[in-house]
């Protein structure tokens, strides 16, 4: 019954797209800028970096929103229909919106899937399903940025040179970010490089920067962890004396707190190492509203947390 309801919901949303396509007028462009609507906060920042002064970017999901569980509202459908370009991550990150993107493409809307710029051989699979958290490997995010730049250029060929120039500038900034992450990771011994979080969002980070990554939940937050999984993870932490585990800003802290309690019951004290930005960026007040700012924050939080008392000389 639940599966039937989900399918009916997807059909209804697709119908809404088709209906609004014929009756919603296009938004007036400000100063002839390209109107771009994106799904996640990571893509909001990416589109602004590449588009610069030639685009107006509007995001559907705010800071702290979990894209795995996000359902597009009728208002979101209107925003996407009014946009010149729609950008989404893909690989089922926005799992409940897949049919909406397909309907927009069928109608002729310019739709950019950031993950299309990444060869499948570079993606990680979990139980036969591709991991959508591509932004946690800077080299993959560069490819996503290139895909967005190419898409904007096709939608707005008059400013293609501008988008290409912005991409080159941003690509260099990402290279510097990658160097920073690798340099900080070297501060940890190999056996210290164990990252444990609420859900398994950091596999690309682990593969790229040499960390063993474990999560209470699976790749999608829709999957629930059983008691046996928590007990096994707690035992692993106690046996390997992992100094810190980490919460995620887009998920409740209860699961990690329960994990810490389970570790304590096994005779070892692990700490909450801090909050990481996983499926959403932060806000402007602490400089984590950009991809680079949030990733630097994550890197510092993880390294400092896992070093624990070792960082005090």
Do the first three CATH levels of 2-180 and 185-305 match, i.e. the same topology? yes
Q: pLDDT per position in the chain (313 positions), as tens?
A: 444 444 444 444 554 544 544 444 445 455 689 999 999 999 999 999 999 999 999 999 999 888 988 999 999 999 999 999 999 999 999 988 988 998 998 888 999 999 999 999 999 998 899 999 999 999 999 999 999 999 999 999 999 999 999 999 999 999 999 999 999 999 999 999 999 998 788 999 999 999 999 988 754 444 555 688 888 999 999 999 999 999 998 777 888 898 999 999 999 999 999 999 999 999 998 999 999 999 999 999 999 999 986 543 3
What's the pLDDT score for residue 312?
38
CATH fold of 2-180: Rossmann fold (3.40.50)
What's the pLDDT score for residue 225?
55
CB atoms under 10 Å from CB of 116, counted, come to 13
Q: Which CATH architecture best describes the domain 185-305?
A: 3-Layer(aba) Sandwich (3.40)
What's the pLDDT score for residue 31?
64
What's the pLDDT score for residue 184?
98
State the pairing for strand pair 55-59/34-38.
parallel
Contacts of 219 (CB under 8 A, 6+ apart): 126, 129, 131, 132, 133, 199, 200, 201, 203
What's the pLDDT score for residue 227?
80
Residue with structure tokens 């692990």?
270
Task: Please choose, from the candidates 228, 219, 311, 308, the residue with its C-alpha nearest in 3D space to the C-alpha of residue 272.
Answer: 308
Q: What is the pLDDT of residues 166-203, one digit of tens each?
A: 999 999 999 999 999 999 999 999 999 999 998 788 99
Q: How far apart are CA 44 and CA 35, in angstroms?
A: 12
| CB of 63 closer than 8 Å to CB of 89 | no
Can you tell me whether residue 130 is helix, strand or coil?
strand
DSSP for residue 33 = P
Delimit the domains of the chain by residue range: 2-180, 185-305
Q: How far apart are CA 118 and CA 176, in angstroms?
A: 21
Task: Please choose, from the candidates 295, 283, 289, 284, the residue with its C-alpha nearest in 3D space to the C-alpha of residue 49.
Answer: 289
| CB of 114 closer than 8 Å to CB of 87 | yes
Predicted TM-score (pTM) of this structure: 0.87
């Amino acid at each position: 019954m639940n599966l039937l309801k989900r399918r009916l919901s997807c059909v209804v949303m697709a119908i809404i797209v088709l209906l609004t396509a014929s009756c919603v007028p296009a938004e007036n462009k400000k100063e002839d800028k390209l109107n771009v609507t994106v799904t996640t906060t990571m893509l909001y920042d990416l589109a602004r970096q590449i588009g610069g002064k030639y685009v107006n970017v509007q995001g559907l999901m705010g800071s702290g929103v979990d894209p795995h569980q996000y359902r597009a509202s009728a208002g979101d459908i209107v925003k996407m229909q009014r946009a010149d370009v729609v950008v989404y991550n893909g690989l089922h990150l926005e799992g409940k919106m897949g049919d909406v993107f397909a309907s927009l493409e069928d109608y002729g809307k310019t739709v950019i899937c950031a993950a299309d710029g990444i060869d499948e051989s570079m993606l990680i699979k979990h139980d036969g399903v591709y991991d959508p958290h591509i932004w946690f490997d800077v080299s993959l995010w560069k490819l996503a940025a290139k895909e967005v730049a190419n898409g904007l250029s096709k939608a707005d060929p008059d400013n293609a040179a501008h988008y290409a120039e912005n991409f080159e500038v941003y690509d260099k900034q990402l290279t510097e970010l990658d160097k920073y992450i690798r340099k900080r990771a070297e501060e940890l011994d190999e056996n210290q490089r164990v990252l444990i979080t609420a859900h398994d969002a950091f596999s690309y980070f682990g593969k790229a920067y040499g960390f063993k990554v474990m999560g209470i939940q699976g790749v999608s937050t829709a999957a629930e962890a059983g008691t046996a999984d928590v007990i096994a993870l707690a035992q692993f932490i106690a046996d390997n004396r992992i100094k810190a585990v980490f919460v995620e800003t887009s998920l409740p802290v209860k699961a990690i707190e329960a994990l810490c309690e389970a570790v304590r019951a096994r005779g070892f004290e692990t700490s909450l190492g801090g909050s990481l930005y996983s499926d959403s960026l932060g806000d402007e007040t602490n400089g984590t509203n950009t991809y680079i700012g949030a990733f630097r924050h994550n890197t510092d939080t993880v390294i400092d947390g896992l070093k624990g008392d070792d960082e005090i000389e």
